[in-house]
A and B are shown apart, each in its own frame.
Chain A
Amino acid sequence: SQQGEEDPQALSIQEGENATMNCSYKTSINNLQWYRQNSGRGLVHLILIRSNEREKHSGRLRVTLDTSKKSSSLLITASRAADTASYFCARCSGGYNKLIFGAGTRLAVHP
């Protein structure tokens, strides 16, 4: 069973607005990774945040990690129609760095 849960399951916003997606997990992690998927194709790696990090930025993306609450959030600022996609968090744990994905958040950005 999947051990990462994204919230909300779906999000619909207007261009220019910010989008926030949350992820919770149940067990310890090596790191937590966020991916984007367009139309059921391959996953694109967005950000990797290690368990000893609290915040990370990449362009319009900001990821936070709270290991005490076992949760992470992805913020997309000034969203664009091209940001429309499914976003997944993946818990990376164990000696083999296995990724455990949640069910994802489907983001729709309307022009």
Chain B
Amino acid sequence: DAGVTQSPTHLIKTRGQQVTLRCSPKSGHDTVSWYQQALGQGPQFIFQYYEEEERQRGNFPDRFSGHQFPNYSSELNVNALLLGDSALYLCASSLRQGAYGYTFGSGTRLTVV
């Protein structure tokens, strides 16, 4: 039973560029949430997707956007990258919007130079 799969594992981008991160949820899960974790900090909630719609959003600018596909997989897009966007981006999947807990992927390490 595959867990949450994130790709790519590592990514280096230049300021001003755009990036797309991908997440495949655990089998049977229908909800995907995205988190940003800066070095030495706890994860910060970006947004949650359920039934292909953004259901809740954290305190992140509109440069951060996402999408959920009919197969429940999800993408996180970040436009106009800033140095401060360098972080570990974590995807968490769950059933019915986290009613029974979350399963996290291993993350994508994004470095903006």
CB contact list, B62-113 vs A, under 8 A: 88, 90, 92, 94, 97-107, 109
Query: Which residues of chain B are near A35, meaning CB under 8 Å?
Result: 104
Complex contact B104–A104 (CB within 8 A)? no
* Nearest CB in chain B to that of A42: its residue: B106
CB contact list, B1-59 vs A, under 8 A: 4, 33, 35, 37, 39-45, 48, 50, 55-56, 58
Q: How large is the interface on A (under 10, 10 to 19, 20 to 34, 35 or more residues)?
A: 20 to 34
* Nearest CB in chain B to that of A31: its residue: B101
Query: Which residues of chain A are near B109, meaning CB under 8 Å?
Result: 40
Whether A104 contacts B56 in the complex (CB less than 8 A), given A35-B104, A44-B104, comes out as no
Complex contact A43–B44 (CB within 8 A)? no
The stretch from A58-66, A70-78, A95-103 touching chain B is: A95-103
Query: Which residues of chain B are near A103, meaning CB under 8 Å?
Result: 40-42
Partner of B98, one of A40, A41, A96: A96
Complex contact B45–A100 (CB within 8 A)? yes
A25 at the interface (CB under 8 A from B): no
For the complex, what is the distance from the CA of A35 to the CA of B101, rounded to whole Å? 11
For the complex, what is the distance from the CA of A3 to the CA of B48, rounded to whole Å? 19
Partner of A97, one of B43, B88, B98: B98
Complex contact A97–B99 (CB within 8 A)? yes
| 13 pairs, CB–CB < 8 Å, chain A vs chain B | A40-B37, A48-B100, A92-B98, A95-B97, A96-B48, A96-B97, A96-B98, A97-B98, A98-B33, A99-B45, A99-B92, A101-B42, A103-B41
